[in-house]
């Protein structure tokens, strides 16, 4: 219950940030307006009418709903606007970042290894069809793999893990081998 309340507050905060970005830096609520809004005595509708894109305006309105349960989740907004407001690659990135929150990935080493283990998938999903981006991203991910190999002794490109010390083997065993199925889909159609 507490987590859901925090998520709804986070969605409200995202709505405030998106409103400010789309209002050229003007805040959607002053402190006094926020207090009035919470009491049902202020409506930011007039300000939101200045948001040029109607889809963005509608999403912000939903995120700022005074009833927390009607604000939607990050996932629902992403699913609704994927390919419209958000590039399709955001679905893949959402799944990737969600993987970093898995309970078994308790320490920084495991999170870094998870991210590095996904580096080839990241390259494939985010840079399909763009030779410049593919080259640049590929070089960056190659550097990341090299750095992780240096720090951990793990050669991610070869998959050779038999000679790793036991701590690194435990970390590696916690990693999902792939991003959970049904959560990919960032590549271009």
Highest mean pLDDT among 103-107, 167-171, 172-176: 103-107
State the pLDDT confidence band at 140, using cuts at 50, 70 and 90: low
Query: What confidence score (pLDDT) does residue 175 get?
Result: 52
Higher pLDDT, 183 or 151: 151
**94 has a pLDDT exceeding 80:** yes
Query: How far apart (Å, rounded) are the C-alpha atoms in residues 1 and 35?
Result: 24
Residue 160: is its pLDDT beyond 80? no
pLDDT of residue 163: 40
User: pLDDT, tens digit, for every residue of 39-87?
Assistant: 999 999 999 999 999 999 999 999 999 999 999 999 999 999 988 888 8
Distance of CA 156 to CAs 69, 105, 165, 181, Å?
43, 18, 15, 22
pTM of the predicted model as reported, rounded to 2 decimal places: 0.63
What number is the average pLDDT over the span 134-151? Answer: 63
For 76, 82, 91, 158, the CA distances from 59, given in Å and listed in that order, are: 11, 12, 17, 45
For the residues of 5-34, what is the DSSP string, one character each? Answer: HHHHHHHHHHHHHHHHHHTTT--S--HHHH
């Amino acid at each position: 219950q507490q987590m859901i309340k925090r998520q709804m507050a986070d969605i409200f905060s995202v709505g405030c940030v998106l409103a400010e970005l789309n209002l050229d830096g003007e805040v959607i609520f002053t402190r006094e307006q926020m207090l009035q809004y919470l009491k049902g005595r202020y409506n930011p509708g007039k300000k939101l009418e200045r948001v040029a894109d109607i889809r963005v305006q509608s999403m912000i309105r939903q995120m700022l709903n005074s009833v927390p349960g009607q604000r939607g989740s990050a996932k629902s907004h992403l699913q609704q606007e994927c390919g419209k407001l958000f590039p399709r690659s955001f679905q893949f990135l959402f799944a990737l970042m969600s993987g970093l929150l898995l309970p078994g990935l308790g320490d920084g080493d495991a999170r870094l290894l998870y991210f590095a283990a996904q580096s080839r998938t990241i390259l494939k999903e985010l840079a399909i069809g763009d030779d410049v981006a593919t080259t640049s991203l590929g070089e960056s991910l190659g550097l990341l793999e090299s750095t992780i190999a240096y720090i951990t002794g793990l050669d991610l490109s070869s998959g050779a893990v038999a000679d790793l010390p036991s701590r690194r083997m435990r970390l590696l065993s916690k990693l999902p081998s792939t991003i959970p199925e049904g959560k990919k889909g960032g590549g271009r159609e």
